[in-house]
Each structure stands twice: as structure tokens, then as C-alpha cells.
Amino acid sequence: MHTVTKIQLFLLHFSGGNVYSFQFLKPHLPSNFEFLPIELPGRGKRMSEKFVNTETEAVMDLVNQITLLRNTGPYLVFGHSMGATLGLRVTKKLEELGDPPQKLIVAGNAGPGTGEDKLRSTMTDEELKNELRELGGVPEEVLNNTDLFNFFAPILRSDFKIIEEAEELTNDFKLKLPINAIMGDQEETSEQIENWKNFTSGEFKSYHLPGNHFFIFDSPKALIEIIKN
């Protein structure tokens, strides 16, 4: 019997996220897609592994996972927040390896060079809690439960540190493939979404969906529509 090769969708999580962070999208994905969330070490299914310390290590870890999971068909890379930042470099590496995705979809992030230069990784616990409340996405019961917070805080700090210490991109850093960018209309940097256009010589499209930084949880169907188009 002839089996149809599914379109693979690789999903790169936000800071503090893991392989389960995008479960809410799975029910809305058409059957011709393969749902492939991947995660960095130190969380989720990789809890026993040591954190990576640099953006380069994080990118290579994600590239290796994608390479191992690839079928022979077309695929897409989607990243939210930190996942969008890492997704840009991951996709560049995959281009260089000669197996680029059809497109890169970035969400919750206006791209390199935008946003505030907050050093979240070195904030006190109270400062970090307030910052997370502002960003949304972390349940209040986690912030109010000392044990839960102490469990998640090192993961978050590790992820924030990767992004804060990332090398700046050179002016000639450009993908050849299309970029689609999606942001919540209430995000602070949402009006800078067109910044992503600077990082591709391919087609660029931008979208706004209702909500703040974690708008993705409120509009799973709309998000899948953009991904699959």
C-alpha cells in the first residue's frame, strides 16, 4: 500500500517551555501534517540532561533533532518567542545543510534587534515572578507555589541567558526561504513585526492575532490556518 509522506511541522518552544508546550495545537492540525515538537535539554522528556549554555549549542541541538526526525518530504519550522529567535538560526543552518524547510513561521517576537534589553536571567525571584506575570503564559499557581517556582526558575533562567548572551547577527544574515511572522496585537513590539522582512530574501508575510505575548493559546485555529497555508 502506498503511504503518503506527511508534511512535517517542527515546533520550537518559548523560554521555559518543553515538548508538551504546543499540545493545544495538535487537535487542530490537519491529518496530512506530522506534529513534531522538540525541546532543549533540562526539561520535559530530557529532564536528566544538562542545560545548554550558549545559543550556538542550542541551535546545533535543535538542528540535530530535526535532521534525525526528517522524512523525505516537505517540512516547516515554527517557533514562538525564544523559539522564533532560535528558529532563525536553526533554519539558516538547515539551509546550509541543503535541506531547508518550505518556510519559517515565527510568533510572539518582532525579530533580532527589537524589544527591551532586559536581563531576565539575573533578576531576583520576585522580579522574575513580576516579569512572568506581565508576559503571561505561566499559571499563577506556579508563581505562588514555592516548590513549583523553584523547579521552573532554573529552566527559565537558562533559556533567558541563552537569548541574552546570543551573538548579534551580521548585516548580511538572510534566509532564502519565506518567513511568516505572527504577533499578538497587544504585544509591546507588535508594530515592529515587519523587521522580520530584513532576514529573508524570500517572500514575507505578517499577521496580527488578538492578544498579548501568549496569544497563541487563544487562537489555535487561526494559527494553524497561517501555518498550513
Nearest in space to 107 (alpha carbons), one of 41, 39, 37, 190: 190
Task: Please report how many Cα atoms fall inside a 13 Å half-sphere around the Cα of residue 116, on the Cβ side.
Answer: 7
| Distance, CA of 30 to CA of 33 (rounded, Å) | 6
Q: What is the pLDDT of residue 2?
A: 61
Mean pLDDT of 27-37: 96
Tell me: the pLDDT tens digits for 9-28? 999 999 999 999 999 999 99
Contacts of 217 (CB under 8 A, 6+ apart): 24, 137
| Distance, CA of 227 to CA of 229 (rounded, Å) | 6
Query: pTM surpassing 0.85?
Result: yes
The CATH code of domain 7-114+170-228 reads 3.40.50.1820
Contact between 43 and 155 under an 8 Å Cβ cutoff? The reply is yes
Tell me: the pLDDT tens digits for 126-171? 999 999 998 887 889 989 999 999 999 999 999 999 999 988 888 7
Tell me: the pLDDT tens digits for 101-138? 999 999 999 999 887 678 999 999 999 999 999 888 78
Q: Which residues pair with 104 in a beta bridge?
A: 77, 179
Domain boundaries, the chain: 7-114+170-228
Q: What is the pLDDT of residue 4?
A: 77
Q: Which residues pair with 181 in a beta bridge?
A: 106, 206
Tell me: the pLDDT tens digits for 173-199? 999 999 999 999 999 999 999 999 999
Is the confidence at residue 1, as pLDDT, over 80? no
Contact between 87 and 200 under an 8 Å Cβ cutoff? The reply is no
Mean pLDDT of 56-71: 97
Is the confidence at residue 78, as pLDDT, over 80? yes
